[in-house]
Amino acid sequence: MATGRSHRPATRGRGIPEATVARLPLYLRALTALSERSVPTVSSEELAAAAGVNSAKLRKDFSYLGSYGTRGVGYDVEYLVYQISRELGLTQDWPVVIVGIGNLGAALANYGGFASRGFRVAALLDADAGLAGRLVAGLPVRHIDELESIVADNQVSIGVIATPAGAAQEVTDRLVAAGVTSILNFAPTVLSVPDGVDVRKVDLSIELQILAFHEQRKAGEDDRQEPDGDVPAVMPA
């Protein structure tokens, strides 16, 4: 596994910073709303406000894509929608499989935001044979044993995992072996994958704990109840 750090001039032609990539969908959403209202152009200031970011940041982000603005006027909404869509790869169709059709998996299957951006649910998979054939969001749940053939037949490259944590690594291994190279993981586990496979995780529990941390700090600034004292002396040997 070559680290490949030596060359790579930080920011180059196709080299869009990760932080910028993460914001492009945000801009796209704001632009789509403007497009639906038939707004022809927006300034970086307006668009930044709509997306909830700093305008200088937005301009720098766009500068990585090229010079698509017109000074004194702003950005052409339709053109920018197209450019960002193309950059994100949304001009093509992305078949997705969802594995684990329980509470969360079913909610995801019903989620309209999937189809709206070129993501098509190719199949719903579950290990529970009792679920097989049942319709969820208009699609039949299929047995996990069909995973390999479904991924191959539909050229699925993105998998969503909504199984219990204990099954997530096994499912991941099967997805990767079948040819999936991007995984969105909702199970609270660290997944290990080979190089070349991307994993992103969504973890509700972590988000809540981060909120709790800040919440506690806010409260502590007023109360200042226990500076340090009452820590149970559970010190190790």
Ligand X SMILES: NC(=O)c1ccc[n+]([C@@H]2O[C@H](COP(=O)([O-])OP(=O)(O)OC[C@H]3O[C@@H](n4cnc5c(N)ncnc54)[C@H](O)[C@@H]3O)[C@@H](O)[C@H]2O)c1
Annotated binding site for NAD(+): 100-105
**How many residues bind to DNA according to rule CB under 7 A?**
28
Pick the binder of DNA from 57, 117, 134, 201 (CB under 7 A). Answer: 57
Q: How far apart are CA 198 and CA 158, in angstroms?
A: 9
- Taking CB under 6 A as the rule, does residue 176 contact ligand X? no
Please report, as residue ranges, which positions from 74 to 133 form the binding site for DNA (by CB under 7 A). 74-75
Q: What does the alpha-carbon distance between residue 173 and residue 191 come to, in Å, rounded to a whole number?
A: 9
Taken in order 85, 88, 89, 90, the sign of the CA dihedral is negative
> Is residue 172 near ligand X by the rule CB under 6 A?
no
Helix 18-36 and helix 77-88, axial crossing angle in degrees, nearest 10: 140
Hey, what are 165's tokens? 């944590």
Q: Which ranges of the chain would DSSP assign to H, the alpha helix?
A: 18-36, 44-51, 55-65, 77-88, 103-110, 147-154, 165-178, 204-223
Please state the closest distance from residue 171 (CB atom) to a copy of itself, in A: 16
**Alpha-carbon gap, residue 117 to 133, rounded angstroms:** 27
Sorted by sequence, the CB contacts under 8 Å of residue 33 that are 6+ apart come out as: 50
51 vs 171 by CB, closer to DNA? 51
Q: Which residues in the 67-106 window bind a copy of itself by CB under 8 A?
A: 70, 76, 78-79, 82, 86-90, 92, 94, 96, 103-104, 106
Is residue 22 a contact residue for a copy of itself (CB under 8 A)? yes
Q: Which residues bind DNA (CB under 7 A)?
A: 8, 10, 17-20, 42-45, 53-57, 59-60, 62-63, 67-75
Q: Which residues bind ligand X (CB under 6 A)?
A: 99-105, 107-108, 110-111, 113, 125-128, 144, 162-165, 167, 170-171, 186-188, 204
